[in-house]
Every structure is written in C-alpha cells, then in structure tokens.
C-alpha cells in the first residue's frame, strides 16, 4: 500500500518569500491533516479536512497560511509571506475516517522541513 506522499522534502527560503507544500494522501482516506512540528515539540494541527471540506482550521494563521483540498484528494499548504518562526517540519497525515469513528489511525508523510532565513 502506498503511503502518504509529500513534497518537497526540504525547502529553504528567505523571510517574506512564499512557499507551497503538496500532499497526496493514501487512496480512499477521507480525512487529511496538516501539522506543524517545531523542534522539541509535538505536532500542532493547522488544518483538518474531511473530503474537501474544512473541519478545523482554528490554529491556522489565516493572515499568512492557506490550504486547500480540491476534489477531496490532494492538498496544498501555502505560506505567504513566511516569517522566521515558520521554520518547522510540516507534516501531512491522512486517516480513513475522522477521530471517534474507530478508523482514525493517522498515517503520516515524511514531512517537509522548512527553514526560513
């Protein structure tokens, strides 16, 4: 079974530049998550999709971050403009169904390590 695919693996940009990350979840997984993980901390949820609808984006800094999941499959996360504090690993995860369903096991991609200089 193919896993969650993410790209790029690494990205280095200067502050105020823009960056985009791409995620292809496991086929058939309705729930897709974007997490931000700063070194030494646990993953922090940025946005959660159920199919192509947003379930939770309460912790997404909407003045600079945006995400979409057109057609309920692939997803992109964009940062514009980037700040120094955005340096982190951005993890995409998918699950067959949402939490509480019994099928909420998360499968993570390898992540994108972003460095903002």
Partner 1 sequence: RKEVEQDPGPFNVPEGATVAFNCTYSNSASQSFFWYRQDCRKEPKLLMSVYSSGNEDGRFTAQLNRASQYISLLIRDSKLSDSATYLCVVSLNDYKLSFGAGTTVTVRA
**Closer residue to partner 1 in complex, CB, 19/93:** 93
Give least dist CB 76 to partner 1, A.
19
Residue 57 beta carbon to partner 1: minimum distance, rounded to whole angstroms: 11
Q: What is the 3-state secondary structure (H, E, C) of the chain?
A: CCCCEEECCEEEECCCCCEEEEEECCCCCCEEEEEEECCCCCCEEEEEEECCEEEECCCCCCCCEEEECHHHCCEEEEECCCCHHHCEEEEEEEECCCCCCCCCCCEECCCEEEEEC
Rank residues 15 and 99 by Cβ distance to partner 1 and give the closer one. Answer: 99
Considering the complex, what minimum distance in angstroms separates the CB of residue 45 from partner 1? 7
* Residue among 8 and 99 whose Cβ is closer to partner 1: 99
User: Minimum distance from CB of 66 to partner 1 (Å)?
Assistant: 20
Residue nearer to partner 1 on the CB measure, 28 or 40: 40
Q: How many CA atoms lie within 13 A of 33 on its CB side?
A: 23
Residues in touch with partner 1 (CB under 8 A)? 35, 40-45, 48, 50, 55-56, 91, 98-100, 104-106, 108-111
């Amino acid at each position: 079974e193919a896993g969650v695919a993410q790209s790029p693996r690494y990205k280095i940009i200067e502050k105020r530049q823009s960056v985009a990350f791409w995620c292809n979840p496991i086929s058939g997984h309705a729930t897709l998550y974007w997490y931000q993980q700063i070194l030494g901390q646990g993953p922090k949820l940025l946005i959660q999709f159920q199919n192509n609808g947003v379930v939770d984006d309460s912790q997404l800094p909407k003045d600079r971050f945006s995400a979409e999941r057109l057609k309920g499959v692939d997803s992109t996360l964009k940062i514009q403009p980037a700040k120094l504090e955005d340096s982190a690993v951005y993890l995409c995860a998918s699950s067959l169904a949402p939490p509480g369903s019994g099928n909420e096991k998360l499968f993570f991609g390898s992540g994108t390590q972003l460095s903002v200089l």
